[in-house]
Amino acid sequence: MLNSDLHAKWRMRTSVMRLAGGPEAQADLFASRLRTFLRETGAPFIVSTPTRMILAWDEAARQMLILAPQLGPLFDEPELAYELCGYDLARGLGPNPAPEPVTPSDPLVRRFGAVRQLISDWPEFL
């Protein structure tokens, strides 16, 4: 069972991604929104889009957020899933069961919650 404090999932119609110009264009759009949000909240994350996913990395804290589509090999399903996962590499925390309890006041959990809410408000997701 995944740690729900550091894992979230949404559904999106494949046609929405096609209208955006494909997976890479969709990733660029989402990365731009996330980059703006993190900048406005003062979070020191660098946001990039390697291979259709959105990676937000905080070098100093060794934390990252990854938003990635779960694309099938034929890209012909009517819907696809996007997953957001949070990681703290220094403490070994991630969406897998945590080796130690993670509290709601944990900085990574708070940041993840804010990003999860941001993404939940994006119109592309069902």
Per-residue pLDDT reduced to its tens digit, 18-65: 899 988 899 999 999 999 999 999 999 999 998 888 999 999 999 999
pLDDT 10s digits, 86-112: 999 998 888 887 667 778 899 999 999
Q: Say how many CA atoms lie within 13 Å of 23 toward its Cβ.
A: 19
* pTM, to two decimals: 0.90
Beta bridge partners of 54: 67
| Structural domains present in the chain | 4-120 (3.30.530)
